[in-house]
Structure 1
Amino acid sequence: MHTSLIVPPSPLLNKVPEVTLFFWIIKVMSTTVGETAADFLIFNLKFGLTITSLLMGGLLLIVLWIQLKSRQYTPWKYWLAVVSISIFGTLLTDNLSDHFGVPLILTTSLFTIALIITFVLWYRSEHTLSIQSIHTRRREILYWIAILFTFALGTAAGDLVAEGFRLGYLTSGLIFGSLIGVIALLYYVFQRNAIASFWVAYILTRPFGASWGDYLSQPVGSGGLGLGTFGTSTLFLVVIVGLVSYLSISHQKWISQ
């Protein structure tokens, strides 16, 4: 009797982490760091927008090369890429708005279109947008392109609501937080599509984190709490490093079992 044994792909081959509470906490904090760290480099260290963009673009290429060369998910490599792409995504929007004078509503529209095109190309080539099967080079490249556009789009949308519509950072943070709550309700209570829910939530966490980052860091006269970009960035980076270190230790223990 001939028996065919089909072995499913090892989860170690997937290049992104499991979507847990830790995932969302680090994601939101990385978006905050993306906003405040970019401002710190531009204004506090006086690098300016152009130099900061070039430096962070070069760093992002190095970090993504490290991530792409890895044959399995490694927490520090993955989250270093997310933080780097968060900062660079912020700079993309800032360059369009500040250097080229593109209105925020147009910037938001352009990145929305770019993200939709990325999803269409991804789905047509892979027949799925799930992040639970990022185990080929093509899927991973499409994944990181989508991530870049979510950060750029989130930055533009957050700035549009907080500054363009003059609602302020706190109100903007509450609006996007409420939208994330609606998505969570639709998914957990009404069992809506998991993949669509993930990507909408992923996009919304960018302006949510950025709005709270601005609220914490900006001067009181500008509608913030005045903690400064250095203090806010340092605080959130420390938390990110702590959580990623914990995940790295847990991951190594799981591998060794």
Structure 2
Amino acid sequence: MITEHLLDNRPTAAPFRTLVNKVPEVSVYFWVIKVLTTGMGETASDWLAHLFGPVPAVGLGALALVTSLVLQFAVRRYIAWVYWTAVVMVSVFGTMAADVLHVGLGVSYTLSTPLFLAALIAVFVLWYASERTLAIDSVRTRRREAFYWAAVLATFALGTAVGDLTASIGLGYLGSVVLFAVAICLPAVAHRFAGLKAVTAFWAAYVITRPLGASLADWMAAGRARGGLGLGLAPVTLGWTVAIVCFVGYLAVSRRDASSGRTV
């Protein structure tokens, strides 16, 4: 786990000091909730598509995403339920975006994966060129916050495509869970023992949380004929939602993940 502040390549001053940090401290709670949101977003997207149909589901997902991000940008500090609601909505819509490309437009996972990777790299390049940092504890201006959420959306879309790609080439859901459970440890190991920068390690692990959580949730929801536990989309979605609410509620009360509020 990467739990220290992400200070690498951070400049000594920011153009505006109008906000305290808008994202939570990186801790074990951060990673647990992040994985939960990825799995919940995966099954919720599929559940909504079955319940309302693909087009209405995408419309509802887009509306919920925009609403949650407007609220997130409106507040001037990190608020647990506001932030994690936005992450959940990004997860749901990011899954829908990847599914629309594959199911609706017929774009293969072997093509969508590098496309989403290119989009994520473009966001990082523009972010760094503008701000000279990708550190999440420097998200204290509106511009940096916009770059941050663009990167988050791109990581969810990329992670969805990667998870679907591995599941489709023979690994299956459980095999994908094992693969990504191992893979998510590698950035932390490389940071601890090989000198990988904390910022780079963080974003690498952040991407991997998506296919890890999604593969785990898919394995739980999928029928036994598909190698899953057969619990169903609705029960898994609701169960993971309850877990998210419990963790976020605890953090909202305890403020254990609240930023120290130091200026950049």
Q: CA deviation at 1:197?
A: 0.2
Structure 1 residue aligned with 2:5:
none
**1:20 maps to what in 2?**
27
Alignment of 1:107-186 (within 5 A): 107-163=112-168, 165-186=169-190
Q: Deviations over 1:157-202 (max 9, x none)?
A: 0000001x12100001111111111222112333421000000000
TM-score (norm 1): 0.92
- 1:22-61 alignment, distance < 5 Å: 22-43=29-50, 45=51, 47-61=52-66
- Paired residue for 1:214? 218
Normalised by the size of structure 2, how large is the TM-score? 0.89
Moved beyond 4 Å, runs of 4+? 252-255
Matching residue of 2:111: 106
Deviations 1:48-76 (A, max 9, x none): 11110111101110110000000000000
Aligned residue number for residue 227 of structure 1: 231
Q: For the residues of structure 1 that align with 2:227 and 2:108, how far apart are their CA atoms?
A: 22
Identity over aligned pairs, percent: 46
Within 5 Å, which residues of 2 pair with 1:75-114?
A: 75-114=80-119
The reply on whether 1:187 has 2:191 as its aligned counterpart is yes
**Greater relative contact order: 1 or 2 (C-alpha under 8 angstroms, separation 6 or more)?**
2
Higher-Rg structure is 1
Report the residue type matching 2:180 in the other structure: F
Q: Which residue of 1 aligns with 2:262?
A: none
| Matched residue SS, 1:167 | helix
Structure 2 residue runs without a partner (length 5+): 1-13, 260-264
Residue number among 212, 220, 241 corresponding to 2:245 in the alignment: 241
* Equivalent pairs, count: 247
- Alpha-carbon distance in 1 for matches of 2:172, 2:201: 27
Q: Which runs of no fewer than 5 residues in structure 1 stay unpaired?
A: 1-7
Shift of residue 253, structure 1, vs aligned partner: 11
CA distance in 2, matches of 1:254, 1:215: 33
